[in-house]
Amino acid sequence: MNGVPRHVAIIMDGNGRWAISRGQPRLAGHRAGAKTLEDVLGWCREAGVEILTVYAFSTENWKRPAEEVNGLMKLLGLFLRNKRAKLIRDKVRFRVIGRRSDLPEKLQKKIAALEAETATFPHQLVVALSYGGRAEIVDAARRFAALPPERQTEAGFASCLYAPDLPDPDLIIRTSGEFRLSNFLLWECAYSEFFITETLWPDFDHATFGRALASYAARDRRKGGHA
Ligand code: IPE
Ligand code: IPE
Ligand code: MG
């Protein structure tokens, strides 16, 4: 039996389908999804999950219509503004992984400010923004090439990733029933456990979160060794 996963990563998928099934614009789904994220942060605290990483916007998501992309960027800005006080009160360190220079400059500034303000806190919310696992590996490879030969090891490569101090995710949850990674944490997922639920992200609830943790607890994590 495993205990509580230290690091949970979530592919927050299904906002669009949730909205469309209600005859609403896709952005309404993204708004509902932002609310779910707030709830999940609280459940992580309760359960003792120390690090929550969420996939909010991929390097591929830039190809969506400008209206949706702009709406998402606005929503992210609002999330930072509205959640700032709560993150500080709950001692949650906020950080972003991804190609942050792709983001609107105003958003980059807000991110940097909140990261600095929360840098010493023990719990962590890591938001993957303009994030792609392949982009992260390419960005890391550039830094890796500059390392001295004796540091050109797996650990040395991991030290070149966006958030090198983070442990790999123990559990990766994907909502909306899709069995794929969609370019999320490709290096870090080597020995992660997966939990896939049909639930669309805005409908993701405490019971489903509990099922994911229970499923994780029952996994036999051999990591190539013997039990
Ligand atoms: C996830 O929901 C949020 C982002 C990728 C930004 P989607 O917008 O992908 O929703 P579906 O998968 O189309 O239902
Ligand atoms: C993955 O969802 C990215 C995020 C949740 C941010 P997508 O909706 O972009 O992935 P695909 O298109 O289903 O693979
Ligand atoms: Mg999707």
pLDDT in tens, 77-136: 999 999 999 999 999 999 999 999 999 999 999 999 999 999 999 999 999 999 999 999
Structurally, at CATH architecture level, domain 7-217 sits in: 3-Layer(aba) Sandwich (3.40)
Locate the ligand 2 atom nearest the alpha carbon of residue 178 and give its number: 13
Task: For residues 158-164, give the mean pLDDT.
Answer: 98
Q: What residues flank ligand 2, with Cβ below 6 Å?
A: 11-13, 55-58, 60-61, 178, 180, 182
Provide the residue ranges of all domains of the chain, joining segments of one domain with +: 7-217
The span from the CA of 63 to the CA of 68, in Å, is 10
Supply the pTM of this predicted model. Answer: 0.98
Locate the ligand 2 atom nearest the alpha carbon of residue 182 and give its number: 14
